[in-house]
Each structure stands twice: as structure tokens, then as C-alpha cells.
Amino acid sequence: MAATGANRRQRSVTPRAILLGLLLIPINAYWVIVAELRWYMILTLNPLFVTPVIILLLLVVANEFLRRLRPDSVLSLGELLVIYVMLAISCTVATHDFAINLVAMVAWPAWYATPENKWEEILFPYLPRWAAVWDKESLRGFMEGGASLYQRDTITPWLVPMAVWIGFMLVLFWTMLCLNALVRRAWIEDTKLSFPVVRLPLALVGLETPGFFRHSLMWLGMAFPVINGTLSGLAMIYPALPYIHTRARWPAFPNPPWNMLGLPYSFYPFAIGLGYFVPLDVLFSCWFFYLFIKAQIAVGWYLGLTRLAGFPYQTEQGMGAWATYGLLLIYITRQRWGAVLASLRRPGSIGDEEELLPLRLAFWGALSGMAALVLFWKLVGMTVLPAALAVALYFLLALCITRVRAEAGSQHTVWDLEPMNVFGLVGSRALSKGNIIGAGLSHWFWRLNRSHAMPTQLEGLKLGHEVGIAPRAWLWPLLLATVASSLAGPWACLQVGYNEGAATKCIGFARWAGYESYGWMQHMLTVGRPVEWPRIMAVAASSGLILILWALQCRYTWIWLHPLGYCAGNNLIWVWCSFLVAWILKYAIVRYGGQKAYRRMIPFFLGLVLGDYITGAAWAVVSQVYKFPGYQIFH
């Protein structure tokens, strides 16, 4: 019994762990924002975030010292994972694709309005006053730097817009949490998806590979990215140093159609390491369908189709693929949804005492969250049907991304279903001004979706499942981390902006989010966009291809063409080549060594990821200390 009690304590969620996680969230948020906003050193745009892994590693090392000095103070296995998950949640807010985009969107219209672009006449009458900061003197400190955020006249103009958007974030994350409570059992316990992203955290705490730090293959795998990353960074200062180029390179083709392809190749150690844990058919499909899209450009040039504006309609192919894949996910898990709906009609207990949330609360919580978001966009100026469509598509895509991460652990560069694209299909004449404004204002959180919160929440529940922590125990860590992160992420952006100057010194300031959203609104309100039937046909064709691939997968399991690969591969720009390398290596290992060889090589590939992340985190610190844009492991 004592052993059982000790084991339970090892796998419990404690107030100490939650408090430590909350204390580390602002530190982690500031670390990420300084690296990504000030120096454009990317730490969060891959499914396994860099800084939570490094902090977990440091806690594991500190634990070993505590074990010798004060054994009673050692963090348990459960506590380590709770802290890790809370920090991972913070990286879904304090990131390139979320908080940095948000502050740019809020600051953009008043600062960049000019007599030439006529925004004061075209946009300002339709933009809600609470959606942006309008005080140019306050914005001057943020854009130019050398100012303090902590003055009344400076911070007051930010309070209302940031409070509104932080409230919006909290509703968004709550709805995702409810959806995860509904799909958790189906995707973690019943389907047993691979979840490549959780393998390294489990290894660091000693569960994935017992004796992980004693494996020579792990040290061998870690050595290459550490040594090569160090040399690569130093070569930026001392160009004569030799190193192997692993980051993306763009080959220069002189003649068409090859110069139209945009075919970067890369050999990121972390991507190769993560790819090793992806099922072979999914891994193959990811890089195959990326090249499939590029092949369309080449063939289309020979057939004269590239003269059509937008060919090969890559965004439209993404729309049809993701929407159809999302509907298929709902259909495939229909028994789970049916069980949830049936349980709602039964009085009394429905056997959900150990779930993250009671299923009734999760179901009505998700619906009420979506309804609140529809109301929000209605207040912005959108009409009910487009607002409901925008909200439904966002959470349909959230389900898709969560599934992609659970099966492939792949980077998901996807914004195809965002309102700016979908509404564009019907033409500007069919859209009211409020719908155009709402679509543009939603761009900041729709853009690329690489640091999405919903899969991160489910990965936390997967970690808990692997170590025996009940899902209900995760509720408070996830809720508190979400609230703390929603405050820490925007704060860190404003702190760095006022200190350094968002538009002057900050290399990673999200100018793209500003000119894409407000430029699109200006274009739609002035020039407009007609209905283009080739784009609509591309949506329908890609939807049909997903259905065909799904049917083939169901009937012929030996066919290595997975519909997930067509969705993710569409925009797998940076890591398609790394996934190709991972597929070749994994295929050879499994083909000639079997499962025994596959398991033996796990520490090596985890070492690749860990070594690359140590290098990236170290250079991010060095860049800030010595004030120069150092080497980054990605992009």
C-alpha cells in the first residue's frame, strides 16, 4: 500500500507545481517574445515548443541536485509534467502567430493611416473604437521605443482594446478546452494516436526511454546539432568557420517553370527527429503532397494554365481539403458524439467523473462559447450567418489541427479557411462592410495557426494519460495557465515594444499581420473582388480528392496516401525535405532491422531534437545579452 501511495504522489497535481508554473509563465513569455519580436529568432512555430523543453530539462537537472541535498524537496514526475504543460500553454499565446500579431493589429490603423491611403474615410467609420489604439502619442513610444509602458497616459489607451481581445482569447481557449473534453477519450484511449510531440518530454522525465541520459545514442544524436549549431552561429561572426547548412535554402532556377516553384530544402535536426515518430504512411504523404502541389505548377506551365490568376489555386485546394477532412473527423468519431448526445438525455451520473470536464458542461460550454463568439462578431458589424460560418470554420479547423498534431506531430502552416479567404469566394458585392471589417479583424489569430492552443491542451492530457494522472486533475492547471498566459503574452509584447521600438529595432514586429489585414479591408471596400469560378472549382476538386484518399485508406491499407498528408503537405514549406529524410531513415531502419531496431534508435532521434533545441535556446539568450541577431534553428 505504501508503494501504491508513493506512486500516486509521483503522479499527482500539486499546488506547488501549479504555483511554480504560474511563476515561470511570465519569464517564459518574456523569453519567447524578446527572441521572436526583437530578434526574429523563432522558438514557438513548431508543434514542440523550444522553451518549455529547455525549462523542463533544467528542472530535471535541478532535481538531481536536490535529490542529493534535500530529498524531500524533489519535484515529482507529475509536478514536472504539470509545469511543462503550463509553460507549453503559455507558448500558444506568447508567440509569433498570436500575441505578436495581436499587438500589431491593434496598433496598426492609427499609426499607419495617411492622406494617401485614406483610411480615415474608408476604414475608420466601420472599425469599432474598442478594437484598436487610437492615441498616436501612446503609440509613438511603442513604435519608436525608448519609452516606459508604466505611465498612466501611456498605458490607458491600451486598456480597453487589450481587455476586449484578452476576453475574446479566454472564450476561444475555453471553447477549445470543452471540445478537447469531448474528444479526449476517442483520440487518446480508443484510437491510440501516436502523439509524436509528447515523446521528448516523457523521455526527459524518464518514462519514454528509461535511462535516457545514459544512452550513448542519445548523446550521439544530440552532439551533431549542438556542435553544428554552435559553429553555424559563430560563422555569422567568423565566416571562415566550417559548418553544415541545415536551415532552409532556396535554389535558384534560371528558367520556367522551375523558377516558379519556390522549392526550399532543409535538414532541420529537430524536424528529422520528430518525423521519426510519425507513422510511415503519414510521413510519406506529407512530403509527397507538398511536391504534388509543386508538380501542378510545372505541368500547368507547359499547358498554359499558369496564365490564370492564382493557378494552381493552392489556398483554394487547402480550403476544400481542410473543410472536408474536418467533416470526416466528425463522421469517423460519430459514435463518440452519439454517446455524448445520448448521455445528455440521461439523468444522473453518466460515467464522466474522471473526464476533464463533465460531459454536459463540456457540451454546453462549447456551444455557449461559440455563441458568445458569434455575438462578438455581430457587435463588430458582421451579420449572423457569416459570423456563425467564421466561428464554425475556426473550430472545425481546430479539430483538424489537433488531429494532425496527434497523428503527425507536423508543423501546420494553415490559414486557408480563414474568413478573408472564404468570404473572398463569394465576391465583395455579396458582403456587407461589417462582414469585410470582421474578416479583416480576425486575421491576427487565424494567420498560419502554427502555435495553436487546442492541440497543446490535448497533448497535456495525453501526457497525463501516459503517467496515470486523471484528466479531471488537469482542469485547474490548464485554466490558470490560460488566464496567466493571456495576460503575460500581450504584456511581454508591449514591454519589448516600448523598450526597443516595435517599428524601429524589432526585427520580428508583425508588419505582415498589419498590412495583410488592413490592406485586404481597404482593397475589398474600394476595388472589390469578383466571383471567380476556377477558384470555387478548385475547392470542390480538393474536397473530392480528400474523399477519394479516405476511401482508398479504408479499403487498401497498403496505399501510402493519407488524406492528412494532402492537408498538411499543402503548406509544408519549411520541413517537407526534413520529413523526406526522416521517411527514408525510418523506412530503412524498419525494413532491415524491424521493430527492435526502431526502438533501439529512439534515443538517437530524440537526441537530435534535444540538441537542436538546446542550441536554439542558447543562441536566443546570447542574442539578447550581446544585442545581435544570432543563429536560429528554424526558418
* Helix (H) / strand (E) containing 97: none
Q: Which of 343, 348, 440 is nearest to 386 (CA)?
A: 440
Contact between 629 and 623 under an 8 Å Cβ cutoff? The reply is yes
Determine, yes or no, domain membership for 44: yes
Which ranges of the chain have pLDDT less than 70? Answer: 1-11, 347-351
Handedness of CA 253, 258, 259, 262 (dihedral sign): negative
Q: Which of 411, 403, 436 is nearest to 125 (CA)?
A: 436
Instruction: Provide the CA 330 distance to its chain's centre, in angstroms.
Output: 21
Q: What pLDDT, on the 0 to 100 scale, is given for residue 7?
A: 57
Contact between 319 and 567 under an 8 Å Cβ cutoff? The reply is no
* Helix (H) / strand (E) containing 478: helix 475-500
Domain range enclosing 480: 2-626
The number of distinct structural domains making up the chain is 1
Determine, yes or no, domain membership for 237: yes
Residue 267 CA: distances (Å) to CA of 242, 502, 574, 575, 612: 17, 32, 9, 8, 12
Q: What pLDDT, on the 0 to 100 scale, is given for residue 409?
A: 83
The string of pLDDT tens digits covering residues 182-236 is: 999 889 988 878 899 999 999 999 988 888 999 999 999 999 999 999 999 999 8
Q: Which of 315, 56, 232 is nearest to 633 (CA)?
A: 232
- Largest Cα–Cα distance in the chain? 77
Q: Which residues contact 633 (CB under 8 A, 6 or more apart)?
A: 42, 50, 225, 229, 247, 268, 269, 270, 612, 613, 615, 616, 619
Determine, yes or no, domain membership for 632: no
Contact between 128 and 153 under an 8 Å Cβ cutoff? The reply is no
Q: Which of 559, 542, 487 is nearest to 102 (CA)?
A: 487
DSSP string, 244-274: ---S-B-----STTGGGS---B---HHHHHH
Q: Is residue 26 reached through a cis peptide bond, with omega within 30 degrees of 0 on the bond before it? A: no
Determine, yes or no, domain membership for 634: no
User: Hey, which residues does 249 pair with through a beta bridge?
Assistant: 265
Quickly count: other Cβ atoms within 10 Å of residue 384's Cβ: 11
Rounded to the nearest 10°, the torsion over CA 408, 410, 412, 413 is -140
DSSP, res 633: S
Measured between its terminal Cα atoms, the distance across the chain in Å is 52
Residue 467 CA: distances (Å) to CA of 60, 301, 460, 540: 16, 54, 11, 44
CA–CA separation, 186 vs 193, rounded Å?
Answer: 10
Determine, yes or no, domain membership for 211: yes
507 phi and psi angles, rounded to 5 deg: -65, -30
Q: What pLDDT, on the 0 to 100 scale, is given for residue 139?
A: 97
Q: What pLDDT, on the 0 to 100 scale, is given for residue 352?
A: 78
44 phi and psi angles, rounded to 5 deg: -130, 5
CA–CA separation, 484 vs 322, rounded Å?
Answer: 31
Residue 580 CA: distances (Å) to CA of 191, 385, 600: 26, 42, 21
| Full-model pTM | 0.95
Give residue 480's identity as a one-letter amino acid code: L
Determine, yes or no, domain membership for 635: no
Q: What pLDDT, on the 0 to 100 scale, is given for residue 44?
A: 95
The string of pLDDT tens digits covering residues 378-390 is: 999 999 999 999 9
Determine, yes or no, domain membership for 50: yes
Q: What pLDDT, on the 0 to 100 scale, is given for residue 5?
A: 54
Q: What pLDDT, on the 0 to 100 scale, is given for residue 3?
A: 40
CA–CA separation, 548 vs 370, rounded Å?
Answer: 31
CA–CA separation, 286 vs 578, rounded Å?
Answer: 11
